[in-house]
Homo-oligomer: A and B are copies of this chain.
Amino acid sequence: MKTHLGAKNCLFPIPTTLVGALVNGKPNYLTVAYVGIVDNDVISVSLGKKQYTAVGIKEHGVFSVNIPPAGLVAETDYCGMVSGKKADKSTVFTNFYGALEAAPMIEECAINMACRVIQTLELDEHFAFIGKVVETYCDDACVVDGRVDFACVQPFFYAPDKDYFALGERFAQAWHAGKAVKERRGGE
């Protein structure tokens, strides 16, 4: 049987990211789990309309998405608890810059994406910044035969209103696991 939950977003657990921007001339990072993929090289990040980081993204039209490893859960959670208005988050991590000079990135995160805003949606509670990935950086150790080993990246996932989940095991192969069903049911 099903319980009716009302209009409740349950697209969780979802990857936890650190979104970076230059705000008042300094790197700032916000913990963001309202993220998604909208096209092959386009992602969205949604920030509360009054977030300090949103000011920087609006000013420069660029941002970074950094995927923190489970080992940085304390620092990541901290970046979601404290506003850049009240605390200097520019020294929490080692900053580096790549293709976009106003998109600071985090050395300690295995994956970093420098993104340029191509569209901004204004929702009730959030701005959704739709960003085209301009350049992606990955720790050498997590690149195997030119491909990213996501198990090596050790991302973690957020679920409301208090859980961080680790990544589990690879347990099946995409574009393959369904073959037996296809043979049974047909289709091309």
Q: How far is the CB of A138 from chain B (nearest CB, A)?
A: 5
Residues of B with C-beta under 8 A to A3: 137-140, 143
Give the number of copies in the complex.
Answer: 2
In the assembled complex, which residues on chain B have CB atoms less than 8 Å from the CB atom of A83? 187-188
> When the two chains form their complex, are residues B178 and A137 in contact, meaning their CB atoms are under 8 A apart?
no
Bin the interface of chain A by size. Answer: 35 or more
Best-surrounded residue of A38, A92, A161 (most CB of chain B within 10 A): A38
The distance in angstroms between the C-alpha atoms of A44 and B188, with both chains bound, is 27
A101 to chain B, nearest CB (A): 16
* Contacting residues of chain A (78-101) with chain B, CB-CB under 8 angstroms: 78-83, 86-87, 92, 96, 98
Question: Does A112 make an interface contact (CB < 8 A)?
Answer: yes
Give A162-188 as 1s and 0s: 1 = Cβ < 8 Å from B's Cβ atoms: 111111111111111111111001111
In the complex, the answer to whether A187 meets B86 with C-beta atoms within 8 Å is yes
